[in-house]
Structure 1
Amino acid sequence: MASIVERPQKSGAITFQVKWREDGEWQNEKFGDDDPAVGRAQAEQFKALVEAHGNRWPHGWVPGQGFVETPAVPGDVPLVDYASRYVRRLNGVDGRTKDDYERDIRLHLSQIQHTNLRGQVEQATIGNLIQEDVDDWVAYMNSGERDPEDPEKWLRAPADPKSIRNRHGLLYCVVQAAIDATPQLRTKNCCTRTQLPRADDHIKEEMTFLEHDEYQRIAQEFTDPDARLLADWLVGTGMRWGEASALQVRDLSLNADIPTANIQRAWKRAPKGSPESFYLGPPKTKKARRLVALTPSQAAMVRELVAGQPPEAYVFRTATGLHWRHSNYYHRKWQPAVKAAVEKGLPKRPRLHDLRHTHVAWLIGRKIPLPAIQARLGHESIQTTVDRYGHLVRELDAEIITALEDVMAGPAPVSRLTRVV
């Protein structure tokens, strides 16, 4: 704890010395004014700052001078302006993704504020942003903001950990661009040490895994055979919706020793203002371009579907011969089937994308290694596969226990000989 000592001067004035121990060494700072009450107030304020910093000099305080502000960076601009400029200059990113980034800047990065060394809140710029500002912003997103007039309502609801990580990732890239800029606008990335909330800090379960019989309870509720075939395909191949619904006749190789489907395109959301909501583009990542091996029954099913169709025809089509649209399929086919199954006792309410998760769970249940699953799903990194599905790898527990039991059952190591006196 810090203390304040009054020091009367020969002139009759009084100075106030703030004293504290920092790493075993005495530190002190003096305050004085023609009005002793003002000097005392200054000392009290500084004492509180020292204690708030763990009995250390406050960050940015220069002994004998006080807080010294960092001079403005030449070319400094508001953070949101620089972030928007960064997004507009991105290459290799589709228009809809840029729209999403701009939305995050407008709704979320705009909430970042800079607190200067005196504790005053200022507009965040690309030059003045510091780690503490980022920490405050992440904490704000994680906790949300209640409506002061109605505590049961939210002005801003808490964000889920994944959304926070995505927004923080965008901020990181924006700040790094300022470091790499010419002339350089920053020398350090203030996002590198941010402690982000863990995905498992929240009770909400993001994925639903279906047992085989649970999926069958949903499948039998489909009244449209074509819709049922597409659901079987999604759960049987692990393809993303945008990949499966974009599959064309020319993408199939059904006469090979192992039949395959070649993922070369996927439906993408079009930028705002486009005449169409979706367009055909490349898959999600480079590794999403892949061959997916098919079972004999899957090959037989699609062989029947594509018989007599031209190469550019979609494999999965509606009764009118058009490709399936997600909203149409989800609201008119998938949801009614799930609702009917739940009413008959199904204990889960899966999303359409949970068919992909279920596919992985079935493979893990048959002890398929995660690297093979990574390749089948088209994940860019094995870490993605491990992070999402690693907790399901419990089927090898018996083998692990057996292996350890065999090792431990071997001859005991020879103990160290003791000298006999």
Structure 2
Amino acid sequence: MPVYKDENAKKNPWYYQFYTGEIRGGKRERIKKRGFRTKKEAEKAMAEAQAAVNKGEYLEPSKMAFRDYLNDWLKTKRNLGEQTADLYDSYLRTHIVPSLGHIPLAKISALDIELFLDGLHKKGLAAATIKRIFSVVNAALNAAQLKDLVPKNVANKVEKPQASRRRDLIVWEPEFVSSFLLTTYNDSRYWIAIYLAVMTGMRQGEILGIRWSDIDFENKTVHIQQTVTKKRQIKSGAKTKGSVRSVALSPETLEMLREHRKLILSERLKHGADYKNHDLVVCTQFGGPVTSRAIQKVWDSFIKKTNAPKITFHDLRHTHASLLIKQGVHIKVISERLGHSSVSITLDLYGHLMPNMQEEAAAGLDALIKPTATQKR
């Protein structure tokens, strides 16, 4: 077995070398790799390298571009959720590969990563986003180290980006919400999605996944049990177990849904066999799932038309929570409507919208506890 120990090495003395059987430049091609702590580790790594050579898949780490490694690494992350995998893919395509992809995996340095992070700051990316992008690079290099493709993870030498405090939530006041919905009514078939976001606090994917069969008109509830992904795939379940839930609907919301259903039924009759019936409440004119891009296009046009304070579609979820808080709805009920896994998440997000709760609680004690100091005098 061509595994050897370098007696002069102070640490990780074991290495392997073997010939591939190929002739390059008049010489037999040899593969050699150092830096193993034990003989067993070197033997295992060599067996993997030989297997890759036999399959024609072996590439010297020093020659492997970081982009090629990243693509292979992402394919192995089978335990990632669909949304997380999409996010990783987006970071690779838009930020990591364009900046670092050309560098050989074995030659990427801490300075390369520091300059990369500096570039992200100059692009104006949020601190939290930069931190997540760095985490992807760090995880990829950790995996490369574990597979003996690099001797160490150079990202460990880089000062980790710190996420700034959560941005202040921007919410609309009730009067503006009413004006906005009235002004945009009938401007788009997807108006109903925006209306439902305001009136239920559901996430966009949840709204796009609602079926008519999920709505109980008699008991005035909608049961959230499937979503539509950014790739227009209908997926059972929701973001978390707590996200699979029932949300109470107001009488006005039910009336709006009944009106919208008339449109859907007329389109089913119009398109006949061309209509793909997925039973979706928010759908294309041919019954298919709607893309988040289509919703975004409508949302942008509504913001422009109404000169509305610029917020994201997701911020309508925050607006919904603020409307409930203004009504004095219990935080536990708000948490259940939003599908948070715990009340602490809801409090962390919206606690600052409840500045008078302590004062009101203290004042309320006077109405409960008698006699008061004034009465005693």
| Range of TM-score over shorter length | 0.5 to 0.7
Letter in 2 for 1:160: A
Q: Distance in 2 between matches of 1:105 and 1:325?
A: 22
Residues 244-275 of structure 1, C-alpha deviation per residue, up to 9 Å, x if partnerless? 1221111122333xx321212222123xxxxx
Tell me which of 302, 314, 322 is aligned to 2:257.
Answer: 302
Query: Secondary structure in 2 aligned to 1:190?
Result: helix
Q: In the alignment, which residue of structure 1 is the partner of 2:118?
A: 140
Q: Distance in 1 between matches of 2:343 and 2:158?
A: 23
TM-score computed with the length of structure 1 as normaliser: 0.55
Q: In the alignment, which residue of structure 1 is the partner of 2:183?
A: 221
Query: Secondary structure in 1 aligned to 2:234?
Result: strand
TM-score computed with the length of structure 2 as normaliser: 0.61
Contact 2:100 2:116 in 1 (8 A): no
Residue 391, structure 1, aligned to residue 369, structure 2: no
Residue 281, structure 1, aligned to residue 235, structure 2: yes
1:279-358 → structure 2 map (5 Å cutoff): 279-282=233-236, 283-303=238-258, 305-306=260-261, 312-317=278-283, 324-331=290-297, 333-342=298-307, 348-358=309-319
Q: In the alignment, which residue of structure 2 is the partner of 1:174?
A: 140
Q: Distance in 2 between matches of 1:370 and 1:191?
A: 43
Contact 1:235 1:359 in 2 (8 A): yes
Contact 1:305 1:316 in 2 (8 A): no
Q: In the alignment, which residue of structure 2 is the partner of 1:232?
A: 195
Q: Distance in 1 between matches of 2:305 and 2:150?
A: 60
Query: Secondary structure in 2 aligned to 1:281?
Result: strand
| Distance 1:82-1:261 versus aligned 2 partners, 3 A rule | same
Q: CA deviation at 1:284?
A: 3.0
1:80-229 → structure 2 map (5 Å cutoff): 82-93=69-80, 98=85, 100-105=87-92, 108-109=95-96, 111=99, 125=106, 136=114, 140-141=118-119, 143-144=121-122, 157-174=123-140, 177=143, 190=156, 194-199=160-165, 207-224=169-186, 227-229=190-192
| Distance 1:383-1:139 versus aligned 2 partners, 3 A rule | farther
Residue 244, structure 1, aligned to residue 231, structure 2: no
Q: Distance in 2 between matches of 1:178 and 1:229?
A: 48
Q: In the alignment, which residue of structure 2 is the partner of 1:36?
A: none
Q: CA deviation at 1:239?
A: 1.1
| Distance 1:99-1:249 versus aligned 2 partners, 3 A rule | closer
Structure 1 regions of 5+ residues with no counterpart?
A: 1-67, 114-121, 145-156, 271-277, 412-421
Query: Secondary structure in 2 aligned to 1:269?
Result: coil
Query: Secondary structure in 1 aligned to 2:125?
Result: coil
Letter in 1 for 2:239: K
| Distance 1:327-1:212 versus aligned 2 partners, 3 A rule | same
Contact 1:240 1:353 in 2 (8 A): yes
Q: CA deviation at 1:357?
A: 1.6
| Distance 1:318-1:312 versus aligned 2 partners, 3 A rule | closer
Residue 269, structure 1, aligned to residue 230, structure 2: yes
Q: In the alignment, which residue of structure 1 is the partner of 2:28?
A: none
Q: Distance in 1 between matches of 2:115 and 2:336?
A: 37
Letter in 1 for 2:178: Q
Q: Distance in 1 between matches of 2:96 and 2:292?
A: 31
Query: Secondary structure in 2 aligned to 1:220?
Result: helix
| Distance 1:189-1:161 versus aligned 2 partners, 3 A rule | closer
Q: Which has the larger radius of gyration?
A: 1
Q: CA deviation at 1:285?
A: 3.3
Contact 1:267 1:281 in 2 (8 A): yes
CA RMSD, aligned part only?
A: 4.7
Contact 1:379 1:385 in 2 (8 A): yes
Q: In the alignment, which residue of structure 1 is the partner of 2:334?
A: 373
Q: CA deviation at 1:235?
A: 0.2
Q: Distance in 2 between matches of 1:405 and 1:188?
A: 63
Letter in 1 for 2:340: H
Q: CA deviation at 1:90?
A: 1.6
Q: Distance in 1 between matches of 2:175 and 2:246?
A: 28
State the number of aligned residues: 301
Letter in 1 for 2:359: A
Q: Distance in 1 between matches of 2:88 and 2:278?
A: 33
Q: CA deviation at 1:229?
A: 3.8
Residues 309-328 of structure 1, C-alpha deviation per residue, up to 9 Å, x if partnerless? 69942224567766655444
Contact 1:365 1:395 in 2 (8 A): no
Q: In the alignment, which residue of structure 2 is the partner of 1:154?
A: none
Residues 171-201 of structure 1, C-alpha deviation per residue, up to 9 Å, x if partnerless? 354355467769997699939983513145x
